[in-house]
């Protein structure tokens, strides 16, 4: 998308768009000739909607590329996920569901073991057991550094995500991890003024960590590397003229949607029913709603075909609450595929349904991978979905005469 | 399209290509589950041709973008319509069907009201009524300026299109419109030698306009802004090795086809039958023919489903005259969609039929939106159609060994 080109064409309209994302929606049959999770699920409401929709397959980042939920969502939100890379530190934080804010500085952390003279004995503290790491992270999260909030979140074994939140922080901070044993960790150094201030706070923090962990063994210190912030993206309001809201339970999705200028709405509970209640409650206040369903991906990654199909059926049962709101545009898709047979994210393009009052219907009364492969939208780059949503919502004016 | 890459592969051939454009061809059903205008029309000849063709959907400028006929045709002619933007002045002129030549300088004009001391009272002369503007435009078109022809064409209310035709004109001319009342209009100024000469002619013209309109009220002067020319594009002969001809009744289409180096053929009459007669008459003299049908768009924009379908049937009845000429390649499509239900241009991709003696047939014996959605060409950027036409006409040599 050429943002400058698009901004000239955006016009206001009194219309509402809903993007319903079932995480990891795309699937595979368990045996040749069989059905996918979505095809096996009984989905009368989505099938009825499909009959009056255009169908296709969403390609998150091009052929063969399996994406994480971060880039998968950036694409669904209209941004090229390869050009707008989310850095390693921010990715680690989003990956453990930290609700990362645009000004936060994130880094990847290791628990490590240092000798009395400060030289590194083991950069990974013997691949510290995860329960130990959780206990130590809890101790670290008691540490106070003036002017900022610092949070660490265990990832696995010795690894954790580090986030510093405060005013005017910089992310051009050098790694403290020297990447080899037998030497001292580096002090953090900043390469511009906000980053120098941030580096000083990082060093102050590490000094306090060393005191708190002094009596622990093997892990008695930490290493930090890959400092960064979320990429800076134009907001939905600025770029698409949309007052946009996000409805999600998990922090990662809140973080990515906040990144593109969506307002994250409170959900009273953690169920998908609770999310739909939020949609209903705020219906008058926004013109674009992103609603995220996590469990499809969870069961896909667990390799549980039946439970993934069951979640899809539960979502289907909620569709009447969505259509009762009479949205002008409804998009149902996923951020990537997570076939239960692969127990992981995959590159397979994702079923995509585009309903609107002015869509050219495909007359295919089924929402499923193979039905979508016959649809008129073809294989659509996920980043272009927003353009079709805006056009169908009457929010793009004609180009030229 | 990479022009340098393509030019190396272009080879001559004794073959003929016809591009038949039904303006605004793509449509929508009027009710759920219904047929589009093209689907509803009885088109036995196009359906028979479809059976031996490859089908698809043409995308003028990417997902969600509704284009005007200018960019829509540039794309069908093989040029990226976003990279090759037609400027505001030229667009205004093309929009009111002025047959703009590549050397013409165009601008957007306002009738305005000035006080006795020359300061602007109202930039829009009270939004002058259109019939008044037509009368004043007629007066202005009697004015003579040595060395150039100047034509103004009313658009709506106080707005008109201005075109200066002559040798060696420049378009780097500043606006005379100061964009606020209470000040004097600016004199036109050129920023290079041809544009300085052009600006002097513009100022001479405006002085004469002021004499001609001296006794009129409220509109007694004019403002000009957005001077430009058509973009400079390589010609069909240079780029594709084609001796190309355009058959169109309306000036806008003549202007855009002349822009890409087509020879505009005379049509003896204004009917589509007359256009086919021109095609027959000049058949031996060219190897690429663009033939434009206007009425599909007219009735689409009028919201008249039945008349749009009827025009398509009339075109269908003329198809035997086309196939009797035995063209090597026939392309039937539109420059954009104009669904009668929307009464406007729309973003929906456009039915596309590619017949040739060496095409891989889809064996779909129907030319319609949903039939084309099942076709093997998929959703094809309109600017790539020329490449398929050239290949099917044996005019592109193998790349590499």
Query: Considering CB atoms only, which of A51, A360, A362 is closest to B348?
Result: A360
What are A227-261's pLDDT values in tens digits? Answer: 999 888 999 999 999 999 999 998 889 888 988 99
Q: Is A392 strand, coil or helix?
A: helix
- Residue A1: band (very low, low, confident or very high) from pLDDT cuts 50, 70, 90: low
Tokens representing residue B291 in the block:
């033939």
- Residue A89: band (very low, low, confident or very high) from pLDDT cuts 50, 70, 90: confident
Do the Cβ atoms of A9 and B65 come within 8 Å?
Answer: yes
What are A105-161's pLDDT values in tens digits? Answer: 999 999 999 999 999 999 999 999 999 999 999 999 999 999 999 999 998 899 999
Q: Is the Cβ–Cβ distance between B323 and B281 less than 8 Å?
A: no
A-chain residues within 8 Å CB-CB of B66?
A: 391, 396-399
Residue B1's pLDDT is 61
Query: Considering CB atoms only, which of B32, B86, B339 is closest to A400?
Result: B86
Residue recorded with tokens 């790491």:
A133
Residue B95's pLDDT is 79
Do the Cβ atoms of B28 and A387 come within 8 Å?
Answer: no
Q: In angstroms, what separates the C-alpha of A357 from chain B's closest C-alpha?
A: 9
* Pick among B36, B64, B76, B259 to test the A interface (most A CBs inside 10 A): B64
ipTM score above 0.90: no
- Residue A91: band (very low, low, confident or very high) from pLDDT cuts 50, 70, 90: confident
Give dist(CA B317, CA B42) in Å, integer: 10
**pTM: predicted TM-score of the whole model, two decimal places:** 0.89
What are B293-342's pLDDT values in tens digits? Answer: 999 999 999 999 999 999 999 999 999 999 999 999 999 999 999 999 99
* Pick among A17, A58, A329, A360 to test the B interface (most B CBs inside 10 A): A360
pLDDT higher than threshold 80 for residue A175:
yes
Handedness of CA A145, A150, A156, A159 (dihedral sign): negative
> Percent of chain A, pLDDT > 90?
91
- Which residue from B minimizes the CA distance to A355? B32
Angle separating helix axes A193-212 and A130-140, nearest 10 degrees: 110
Tokens representing residue B268 in the block:
């003896």
Do the Cβ atoms of B66 and A2 come within 8 Å?
Answer: no
pLDDT higher than threshold 70 for residue A338:
yes
Q: In angstroms, what separates the C-alpha of A257 from chain B's closest C-alpha?
A: 22
Query: Considering CB atoms only, which of B67, B347, B349 is closest to A400?
Result: B67
What are A10-57's pLDDT values in tens digits? Answer: 999 999 999 999 999 999 999 999 999 999 999 999 999 999 999 999
- Which residue from B minimizes the CA distance to A375? B373
Whole-number average pLDDT of chain B: 95
What are B152-193's pLDDT values in tens digits? Answer: 999 889 999 999 999 999 999 999 999 999 999 999 999 999
Residue recorded with tokens 């663009």:
B290
Q: In angstroms, what separates the C-alpha of B177 from chain A's closest C-alpha?
A: 22
SS (H, E, C) chain B: CCHHHHHHHECCCCCCEEEEEECCEECCCCCCCCCCHHHHCCCHHHHHHHHCEEEEEEECCCCCCCECHHHHHHHHCCCCCCCCCCCHHHHHHHHCCCCCCCCCEEEEEEEEEECCCCCEEECCCCCCCHHHHHHHHHHHCCCCECCEEEEEEEEECCEEEEEEEECCCCCCECCCCCCCCCCCCCCCCECCHHHHHHHHHHHHHHHHHHHHCCCCCCCCEEEEEEEECCCCCCCHHHHHCCCEEEECCCHHHHHHHHHCCCEECCCCCCCHHHHHHHHHHCHHHCCEEEEEECHHHHHHHHCCHHHHHHHHHHHHHHHHHHHCCCCCEEEEECCCECCCCCCCCECCCEEEEEEECCCCCCCCCCCCHHHHHCCCCCEEEHHHHHHHHHHHCCCECCCCC
Do the Cβ atoms of B95 and A401 come within 8 Å?
Answer: yes
Query: Considering CB atoms only, which of A5, A375, A399 is closest to B68?
Result: A399
Eight-state DSSP code of residue A384: G
- Residue B91: band (very low, low, confident or very high) from pLDDT cuts 50, 70, 90: confident
């Amino acid at each position: 998308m050429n943002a400058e080109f698009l901004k000239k064409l955006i016009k206001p309209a009194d219309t509402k768009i809903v993007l319903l994302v079932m995480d990891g929606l795309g699937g595979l049959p368990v045996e040749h000739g069989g059905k996918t999770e979505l095809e096996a699920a009984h989905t009368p409401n989505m099938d009825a909607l499909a009959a009056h929709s255009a169908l296709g397959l969403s390609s998150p980042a091009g052929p063969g590329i399996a994406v994480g939920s971060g880039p998968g969502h950036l694409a669904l939100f209209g941004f090229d996920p390869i050009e707008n890379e989310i850095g390693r530190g921010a990715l680690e934080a989003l990956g453990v569901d930290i609700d990362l804010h645009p000004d936060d500085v994130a880094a990847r952390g290791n628990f490590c073991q240092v000798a009395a003279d400060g030289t590194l004995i083991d950069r990974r503290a013997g691949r510290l057991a995860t329960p130990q790491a959780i206990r130590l992270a809890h101790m670290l999260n008691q540490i106070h550094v003036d002017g900022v909030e610092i949070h660490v979140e265990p990832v696995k074994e010795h690894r954790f995500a580090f986030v510093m939140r405060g005013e005017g922080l910089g992310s051009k901070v050098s790694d403290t991890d020297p990447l080899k044993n037998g030497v001292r960790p580096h002090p953090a150094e900043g390469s511009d003024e906000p980053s120098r201030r941030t580096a000083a706070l990082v060093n102050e923090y590490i000094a306090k960590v060393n005191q708190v962990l002094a009596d622990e063994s093997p892990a008695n210190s930490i290493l930090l590397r890959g400092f960064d912030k979320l990429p800076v993206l134009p907001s939905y309001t600025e770029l698409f003229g949309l007052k946009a809201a996000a409805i999600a339970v998990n922090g990662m999705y809140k973080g990515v949607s906040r990144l593109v200028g969506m307002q994250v709405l409170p959900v009273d509970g953690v169920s998908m029913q609770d999310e739909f209640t939020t949609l209903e409650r705020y219906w008058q206040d926004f013109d674009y709603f992103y609603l995220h369903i996590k469990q499809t991906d969870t069961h896909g990654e667990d390799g549980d075909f039946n439970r993934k199909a069951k979640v899809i059926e539960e979502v289907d049962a909620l569709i009447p609450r969505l259509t009762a709101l009479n949205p002008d545009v409804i998009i149902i898709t996923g951020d990537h595929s997570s076939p239960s047979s692969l127990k992981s994210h995959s590159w397979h393009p994702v079923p995509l349904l585009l309903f609107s009052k002015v869509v050219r219907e495909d007359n295919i009364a089924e929402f499923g991978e193979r039905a979508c492969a016959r649809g008129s939208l073809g294989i659509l780059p996920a980043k272009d979905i927003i353009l079709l949503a805006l056009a169908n919502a009457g929010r793009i004016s004609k180009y030229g005469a």
